[in-house]
Structures are given as structure tokens and as C-alpha cells.
Structure 1
Amino acid sequence: MSWTRNGVISELPVMDWSSQQPMAGSQWQQYCATYGLEFAEAGAAVHSAGMMAIDTHQIAVQVFRHPSATGTALLVHGYYDHLGIYGSLIRFCLAQGLNVVAFDLPGHGLSSGERASIGSFQEYDSVFSQVLQKVQEFLPAPVYAFGQSTGGAILMNYLLKRQLTPALSPFREICLMAPLVRPKGWRSGRMVHTIASLFVRRIKRKFNPNSADSEFLRFIAQTDPLQPHYLSVRWVGALKKWIPYIEALPASELVVNIVQGDADQTVDWRYNLGVLQAKFPNLRLKMIAGGQHHLVNESPALQAEIYATMKEWLN
């Protein structure tokens, strides 16, 4: 692998939402090959990308256009992640006849910002809302939203913060996969953060197993050049402020679809589902027996179960 993060970024133009020209450049081609971001067999006619200036960030956005799209899927990845490792979800959405828009969150992947860090979860909200505005302006409706882990938290924040009703929601369907409210071990973790924040800015990351796909686990721990290797103390501080904020917001009538594994050791899923049930009493829930946290990169058998359920919801 001879590409570098800076090399790929140097080839990305300013994001042109009206362009349907495929990306070129040797660094870009190698990046796409590394993550398998070539979906001709799934119906992607054009794969375009660019950098979008949002607030103080430069956000890397990618668009996969279906030749006969009946809507658009907007994907939001999780903490430590980037859109390059969301190939299974991109392929699924294309197979449903949807265009796909995905972007790297600030501090992740090809986007700017201190790695795996954020000052406030409302920065994520601002980035998401501005990407959504462009999707609504340039790509066909209806819009379907998908969020994994922190991506699910960002979608939840967007919906509850604006007190959106079914009539006002910009989304046909909303699918949250292992959504974050609080992580596992949060009570002790926040105490450790209080002490650690006095002395350090980051803590070395532990690549704990979060999927039954051993090759995926090996790749992110040993090979993926876009994986952060440190937990940001600043990010944990932002989470500490966000949890009471989201828990205090009024409930919503929106129907939200949730997929959750019962072997998830990353988020406190039992607690989180209680919060989600209170916030979205009309939610639809699919529990995945044996499913761990990174549902987008679970074993093929569990992925098949997850995507079969989401296909039913979308249809």
C-alpha cells in the first residue's frame, strides 16, 4: 500500500455536488482499492468525492450515484471509524436502488481536525445538518438515514434537538445500528476521565474485539492507516456533557428503527435501549443474537440477518 492520507487529501477537489464525474488520481484509486470502494456490481454508476468546508472543518464527502435511484441514503459512521470501512452498508443501500452519501466526521478518516476528538457533539450536529442540506438540494428524495454507534447518537441528536414530527422529518426511514447513549462501564469511566483530564490529552486505544469477523478486527488493528490509536480525553469530555443533554430532551413521535446486538461489549446497550424507548416510544427494534458492536462489519451470517431486517423496514 503506497498511498498516504495526505496524498489522497491532496487529490480531492472542492466538493461539487452537481458533478457526476468520477474521481481520478493514483492515490485516490489506491485508497478505494484498499477499502473496496468499487461497487459497479451493486449498481453504482459514478463515485465522486470532494472536500466540503463546514464551520472550521474540511469534511471529506463521497457520493455513490445509482443510475436509476429512487432516493438517497445518508450514512453516519461511528467513533474511531471512517466511511472506508462501511462498504457493506454502502453496497446494501445501492442494492435497494438508492444513491449513497457518506462523509468522514471531524477528526476521522480524510476529514480535518484533531484525531478522534471533538469539543462538543453539537459540532457533529452542525456538520451533519449542512451535509443533509446539500443532499436535499442536489440528490433525489426521499432520504434514508443510517447511523452506527456515535453516528446513531448524531442522528438522535438531530431529531430530538429540533423536536421533529413525522410531518416535518426529512427522512423516510431512520436506522440506528448499536446506537450510542453511554458506553459500557460509563460510571467508572467518567470518574477516570475526570482524573485523567488533569494530566493527559489522550489515552492509548485498546483494540477490543467488537465483531465476529476476525479479518476485519485484524485489519483495523494492524493495517488500516486511518484508524486512530488513541482515545481523546476531550472527546470523552464532550460525551459527558452530551449524555445529560440528550436525556433531558422531550420524546418524539417519530418511528426509529434500531438494530442491536446482545453481545455488544462497547456500549451499555440495555441502558441505552431504555433511553431510546423513552425518547422514541414508536421505535422498531431488532435484536441480533450474538451480535457485537460493529454491526456494519459483523460476520457474513449476522450481516445477512441485519440487512434482511433493514430491507423489510425500507420497503
Structure 2
Amino acid sequence: MLQGCKLKVTSLIFISILVFSCQTYTKESQEVLDSRDELRGLRSYVYEDWIEADQLFDRYFDEYTKDLPNSKYFPVWFNSIGEKMNGVIFTPQVQTKGTVLFIHGYAGNSRGLRYIGNRLLKDGYVIAALTLPGHGLAGGDRGDIDNFDDYAVVVSDFIKILTDKGLKPDFAVGHSTGGSSLIIYNQKYGWEFKKVILIAPLIHSSYWYTSKITRFITRPFIKKLDTRWTGPLAVSTFPMHWFDELTKWNKKLENYNKMDDEIIVLQGDKDRIVSWRYNIKFIKELYNKSEVLIYKDGTHTLFLDEEWDGINVINKAFNFYY
């Protein structure tokens, strides 16, 4: 029985090597590059007067302000980790109740939180959506990071700037790698949020140990994989170096301090992107005041893509309407 299991694992690794070795990745088209540059052309730096988004951005972000004619949003840029970082600030049409920090997941962008954002804007909250380095319109190597600690540096710089502008975040929502960023930020700087919500947070990715073995064997000849995602906000290739940094960060986690901060973790039980059972166990040990809500048949992005789920989950988590 044991030999049979070993044979299956060995076969899986061998097949993975063959598939990955033969796979090529598609270079971004000039049209995509031009579209991204055009979107980056509307630059307003955080410390200056902000320029309201025009129709170029409506294609990606207008669902945030759907049915909210007096709401506005502003793409802003700031300097961090030696790059031009990006965020989008959404302001409500009614008096604000506070600011919510949004951080998307790996290979995603702030558009994914649009359903949740629309409901919060209707309730009078400002939304400060941070773009991770190498994603969306932010600078940095596409889809990559030099060190996972850099995520926390960017979060910290964004929060400092928001605070200077009178928009200090009261709440924070992080999906997947965005959740990882908040955990790192908490360890390095602490936080003063009233509530923190982690949606399907990343600690281990799925098939963690098999992935590590495969990566070890293929390291010399596989640098990138094709994600098959296209568009100016998309991450079209997956740099294997990012997985190396994820592995290094997991070693640092062994030395993380136990925290008393209260957090809420939202997790679908059909998540195939992260090793969610391990991740939940780890987070509950790290945060002894954490509350975990498991959603039956929930996928990694269920809360972001399905309007009714996104609203119900955030309503419950923030306790806004209960």
C-alpha cells in the first residue's frame, strides 16, 4: 500500500515536470501594454489634488459606484519599495462612516471586490483599495516580489499616506495574498483596525509539499508559467521566483509572535487554491481570538465573484446589519 502511494506521488511529480517543461508562456501583446500605459497616464499622486477617474477606468471599476451617481473614485500613485505603487480611492455619496482598506489576492486586482465595495459605499464608507506590487497598474516585476516582507512595507506606506489625508483605515479586508500581507504588516508594525477580515488567506498553497518537490527538481529550467489571463490589469505569467519567496516566508512564520488581535477568517470548503485546512489551523494558533466562518461549497473567489455571497459574508463579518 505504501509503495503504491509512493509510486503515485513519483508519477505525479514526473508528469508535472514533463508538462511544465513543455509549457511556454505568451508574451503580453502591444495592445495590452499600450492599454496599461494609457490607464497609468491618469496619474494623481496621493499628496496632490486627486484626479477623478475617467471613462477609461469605468470599464474596470464602475460597478463599485453602480446606482451611486454622486460617488466618485480616484486612481492614485505613491512611492514604495523603489516603485510607483497604485491604489484606488472610492468616496461615497453620503456622509462617511469610516474607511475600509481592501487588498486583493495574487494575480487579482481591486476589481474583484466590487460587489462588497458597492454595498459599503452605499452605507457611507470610503474604500481605499491597494494594488499589490507587480499587479494591476502598480510597478514592480509582473506578478513577482523580491521578498514577502515588501508586501507589508507597501501596506504600511499606503496607510501612512491615507492617515495623512484624514482617511486612516478603520477596517481592513484582505483576500488570499492580501490576507498574507496584513498578517506580515501586523507582525512588523502592529495594527489599529477595529476589525480585520481575512478571506481565504494564503499560508500554504494547495498541494504544498508536492509543489515544493516539483519546484526543487525543475528550478534550473522553469522560470515562468503561462496563466492564460490577459488584459491591462492581468498577470499573464506566473514567475516561479514568487513561489520561492512564498516558501521562504513560510520559514519565517515559525518565529512569528502570537497575537491578541481579533480577526475574522472567511473560508470556502471547496477552495482548491490554498491548503485551507492547514492555513486555518495555523491562523487560529497565531491569533487566539480569531473567529473562523466556513462556507459550504465556497471556492477561493466565491465571496468576490458572487454578488449575494459577497454582500452576505461582509454583512455578517462586520456585523453592520445584525
TM-score by length of 1: 0.84
- Describe the superposition over 1:251-280 as per-residue Cα deviations: whole angstroms up to 9, x where unpaired: 111100110001111100000000000000
Once the two structures are overlaid, the 10-residue window that deviates more, 174-183 or 227-236, is: 227-236
Distance across 2 between alignment mates of 1:268 and 1:117 = 21
1:1-315 counterparts in 2 under 5 A?
A: 4-13=35-44, 15-17=45-47, 19=49, 21-24=51-54, 29-39=55-65, 41-42=67-68, 45-66=71-92, 67-141=94-168, 143-162=170-189, 164=190, 169-205=191-227, 221=229, 224-312=231-319
Distance across 2 between alignment mates of 1:241 and 1:314 = 41
Percent identity of equivalent pairs: 22
Distance across 2 between alignment mates of 1:235 and 1:314 = 39
Bigger CA radius of gyration: 2
Distance across 2 between alignment mates of 1:272 and 1:149 = 11
Unaligned runs of 5+ in 2: 1-30
Distance across 2 between alignment mates of 1:191 and 1:93 = 43
Distance across 1 between alignment mates of 2:68 and 2:318 = 15
Q: Judging changes above 3 Å, is the alpha-carbon distance between structure 1 residues 16 and 159 closer, same or farther for their aligned structure 2 residues?
A: closer
Structure 2: which amino acid aligns with 1:56? G
Distance across 2 between alignment mates of 1:41 and 1:311 = 23
Q: Judging changes above 3 Å, is the alpha-carbon distance between structure 1 residues 44 and 244 closer, same or farther for their aligned structure 2 residues?
A: farther
Distance across 1 between alignment mates of 2:302 and 2:119 = 13
Aligned residue pairs total 290
Question: What is the CA-CA distance between 1:224 and the residue it aligns to?
Answer: 4.1
Distance across 1 between alignment mates of 2:152 and 2:288 = 23
Distance across 1 between alignment mates of 2:283 and 2:321 = 20
Structure 1: which amino acid aligns with 2:96? A
Structure 1: which amino acid aligns with 2:312? E
Whether the aligned pair in 2 keeps the contact of 1:44 and 1:64 (CA below 8 Å) is no
Question: What is the CA-CA distance between 1:75 and the residue it aligns to?
Answer: 0.8
Whether the aligned pair in 2 keeps the contact of 1:291 and 1:302 (CA below 8 Å) is no
Whether the aligned pair in 1 keeps the contact of 2:200 and 2:266 (CA below 8 Å) is yes
Task: Report what 1:210 is aligned to.
Answer: none
SS of 1:86's equivalent in the other structure is helix
Q: Judging changes above 3 Å, is the alpha-carbon distance between structure 1 residues 44 and 114 closer, same or farther for their aligned structure 2 residues?
A: farther
Q: Judging changes above 3 Å, is the alpha-carbon distance between structure 1 residues 258 and 279 closer, same or farther for their aligned structure 2 residues?
A: same
Question: What is the CA-CA distance between 1:49 and the residue it aligns to?
Answer: 1.9
Once the two structures are overlaid, the 10-residue window that deviates more, 2-11 or 71-80, is: 2-11
Q: Judging changes above 3 Å, is the alpha-carbon distance between structure 1 residues 264 and 228 closer, same or farther for their aligned structure 2 residues?
A: same
Distance across 2 between alignment mates of 1:284 and 1:18 = 40
Question: What is the CA-CA distance between 1:138 and the residue it aligns to?
Answer: 1.2
Whether the aligned pair in 2 keeps the contact of 1:50 and 1:62 (CA below 8 Å) is yes
Distance across 1 between alignment mates of 2:204 and 2:260 = 22
Question: What is the CA-CA distance between 1:22 and the residue it aligns to?
Answer: 1.9
Unaligned runs of 5+ in 1: 208-220
Question: What is the CA-CA distance between 1:86 and the residue it aligns to?
Answer: 2.3
Q: Judging changes above 3 Å, is the alpha-carbon distance between structure 1 residues 277 and 44 closer, same or farther for their aligned structure 2 residues?
A: farther
Whether the aligned pair in 1 keeps the contact of 2:303 and 2:310 (CA below 8 Å) is yes
Structure 1: which amino acid aligns with 2:281? G
SS of 1:171's equivalent in the other structure is coil
Question: What is the CA-CA distance between 1:131 and the residue it aligns to?
Answer: 0.1
Question: What is the CA-CA distance between 1:94 and the residue it aligns to?
Answer: 1.5
SS of 1:153's equivalent in the other structure is helix
Distance across 1 between alignment mates of 2:321 and 2:79 = 32
SS of 2:284's equivalent in the other structure is helix
SS of 1:101's equivalent in the other structure is strand
- Describe the superposition over 1:234-264 as per-residue Cα deviations: whole angstroms up to 9, x where unpaired: 1001101101212321111110011000111
Q: Judging changes above 3 Å, is the alpha-carbon distance between structure 1 residues 65 and 35 closer, same or farther for their aligned structure 2 residues?
A: closer
